[in-house]
Amino acid sequence: MLIFTFTSCPTLEASQFCPTQLKHTNIISLTDQLLPSSFIASPTLHPPTLHPPSPISVSKQHAVIPSQVFELADSSSSYQDFSLTRNNRFSSTHSGRNIIQPPATVLHFYNAPPTLTQHQLHKLCTEHNVPAFSKFKVFDAKRDSKTLSGLLEFDSKTEAVEALTVLNHHQIRIPNSSNPFTLKLCFSTSSHL
């Protein structure tokens, strides 16, 4: 069960496992008061990897309390603070550039190897048990471009959310390249291809 608490700005702030009568209860502190309600109201936002789906509710507790930290059975901490992580895109001075895009059936992909094909992307979906996209469009790359970008259209928002959840930041290695390409996905402003 996920229980949401909130504070004051739009991002995940902290997560804490709670020893309660309910098995696998986790309190997630978000810094925007509207996010928990939006998450609960939108079934397309629920993580597709939760099988069976977990019940989600808003907590009466106003914040995650770090002083209630304990060690879990696997020796990890019951509390994790994400407020200072470099992956927190809303904590930088450039946070005004961050656009929150609602879930859509079309995903924008970028930072892909320039040799990536539609067949290779379908194979990637199959290998990770992700629903395959129905339409594919590659943007015209500049002559000196070292990466590829484009759009993938899925049959439903749920399929697009699952693909984004599983494949975002997937590393793709290509022969004769020293570093892997980190495939990045985000929801597109396009409604269809």
Calculate the CA 75 to chain-centre distance: 26
Give the per-residue pLDDT at 154: 96
> Helix, strand or coil for residue 26?
strand
Residue pair 20/47 in contact (Cβ under 8 Å)? The answer is no
Architecture in CATH of 106-187: 2-Layer Sandwich (3.30)
Cα separations in angstroms, 60 against 29, 63, 160: 12, 9, 32
Give the per-residue pLDDT at 36: 58
Assess whether pLDDT exceeds 90 at residue 163: yes
pLDDT band (50, 70, 90) for residue 4: very low
Assess whether pLDDT exceeds 90 at residue 136: yes
Where do the H-state alpha helices sit in 42-148? Answer: 118-127
Between 72 and 154, whose confidence is greater? 154
Give the per-residue pLDDT at 70: 78
DSSP state of 32: -
**Any idea which of 25-29, 145-149, 188-192 has the lowest mean pLDDT?**
25-29
Give the per-residue pLDDT at 2: 43
Residues 193 and 154: their CA atoms lie apart, in Å, by: 10
Between 158 and 71, whose confidence is greater? 158
Between 125 and 100, whose confidence is greater? 125
- Mean pLDDT for all residues in the chain: 75
Where do the H-state alpha helices sit in the chain? Answer: 34-41, 118-127, 157-167
Assess whether pLDDT exceeds 50 at residue 5: no
pLDDT band (50, 70, 90) for residue 6: very low
Task: Go through 35-70 and write b for each residue having 16 or more CB atoms within 10 A of its CB, e for each that does not.
Answer: bbeebbeeebbbebeeeeeeebeebeeeebeeeeee
pLDDT band (50, 70, 90) for residue 24: low
Between 2 and 153, whose confidence is greater? 153
